[in-house]
Amino acid sequence: MPFSKLGLSDALLKSLAEQNYTEPYPIQQQAIPAILKGKDILGIAQTGSGKTAGFVLPILQQLQDGVSTKNRHVRALIVVPTRELAIQVNEVFTTLGKHLPRPIKTMAVYGGVSINPQMIGLQGVEILVATPGRLLDLISTNAVSLSAIKILVLDEADKMLNLGFKEEMTKIFELLPKQRQNLLFSATLSDDLNNINRNLLRDPLVIKVEEEIQNLDLIKQVAFTIAEEKKGPLLRYLIREQNIEQVLIFTSSVHRTDAVTLKLNQNGINAIAIHSKKSQDARNQALELFKSGKVKALVATDLLGRGIDIKYLPYVINYELPRSPKDYIHRIGRTGRAESSGEAISLISPEEEHHFKVIQKKMGKRVALTDGNEINLKGY
């Protein structure tokens, strides 16, 4: 089915063609017509499913048809858990809204950077993508009002709850007008989230995308058992021997992220760290350098690993395993996306072997273990 069958305007179809989006993804096929009709949506989907364009396109179209707002009264609000996701979603609005006959101003606001430019920038904004804390700060200084909101999107709502945004989300809900359309996206449905759904959504269309399973088939999974102290040399060996040009490496802590990055650089492999202790500017810059190929390795903690969308990422390496099997799937899901295959490599210390078995069981897939201690790592 082509996009033109979904009821989108010529201006939006033109942007889609420019992006080489030939066919809507399953979630888009279902969500776009329903959102255009004003229905609430509960989307069980994650990054990689195409959910962003699934809500961006119909929101642009709906706001295009309406009247422009009073200044600083945004009409669509997208609440997201992280700054990176805020920037990313805003970019999709900008890209897909490029040809609209009446330009619609969109903006991303998030904490960790100075609030003043955001206060000034909110002039005339109709679509706002925001993290919860900074949004509340901006409301309290009257830089923005939510009283004219027509559409609310909660993106990665499960993660917002995990990151402890529940109280802030409740405050935001209280400031919204009662009459509005609600779109909620989440990778999973917890009890907490179900409560929010019940209070928030009116007779929603439920869309479930089994993205994790589809994705896993595209991913070649490899695992090495290796002594903890040899993980560094094995990592460098793999990057060099497999001629890896772009790799996302996951560790379990900020401290380890910095340590792995330092060691890679000392050994001539260009690497940069991204984690919550870095300033927003440094995080944006790290992501940019990595995406543009100027830096070979991006070393990250789980928080930053989810939600980051990098097209055709060929390799993901788990320097350490994550605690939850779900996070393992999210991590390796950074590769093998958008119909291109990828490889996920895990370095398993003796202490992690049992945990890796648990992960494989939960995932429903077995990964062959290679003994990394047998590899000659001299010189790495």
The contact set with ligand AMP (CB under 6 A) reads 21, 23-25, 28, 47-53, 309, 311, 338
CB atoms within 10 A of CB 174: 8
Query: DSSP secondary-structure letter at 69?
Result: P
To the nearest whole angstrom, how small is the minimum distance from the Cβ of residue 102 to ligand AMP? 24
Give the Cα separation of 43 and 78 in Å (integer): 14
Beta strands in the chain (DSSP E): 41-44, 76-79, 106-109, 127-130, 151-154, 181-186, 205-208, 219-225, 247-250, 271-274, 297-300, 315-318, 342-348, 369-371
Q: Which is nearer to ligand AMP, 307 or 322 (CB)?
A: 307
Structural tokens at position 154: 């909660």
Q: Which is nearer to ligand AMP, 198 or 311 (CB)?
A: 311
Q: Which is nearer to ligand AMP, 158 or 309 (CB)?
A: 309
Q: Which is nearer to ligand AMP, 51 or 275 (CB)?
A: 51
Q: Which residue is nearest to ligand AMP (CB)?
A: 52
To the nearest whole angstrom, how small is the minimum distance from the Cβ of residue 313 to ligand AMP? 10
Give the Cα separation of 260 and 133 in Å (integer): 31
Q: Which is nearer to ligand AMP, 52 or 257 (CB)?
A: 52
To the nearest whole angstrom, how small is the minimum distance from the Cβ of residue 64 to ligand AMP? 20
To the nearest whole angstrom, how small is the minimum distance from the Cβ of residue 351 to ligand AMP? 34
To the nearest whole angstrom, how small is the minimum distance from the Cβ of residue 142 to ligand AMP? 32
Torsion on CA atoms 267, 270, 271, 272, rounded to nearest 10: 130
From residue 124, alpha-carbon distances to 12, 89, 120, 162 in Å are: 21, 19, 10, 33
Structural tokens at position 114: 């100075």
Is 275 within 8 Å of 303 (Cβ atoms)?
A: yes
Q: Which is nearer to ligand AMP, 212 or 309 (CB)?
A: 309
Q: Which is nearer to ligand AMP, 202 or 311 (CB)?
A: 311
To the nearest whole angstrom, how small is the minimum distance from the Cβ of residue 8 to ligand AMP? 12
Query: DSSP secondary-structure letter at 344?
Result: E
To the nearest whole angstrom, how small is the minimum distance from the Cβ of residue 337 to ligand AMP? 7
Give the Cα separation of 225 and 346 in Å (integer): 8
Structural tokens at position 125: 């904004």
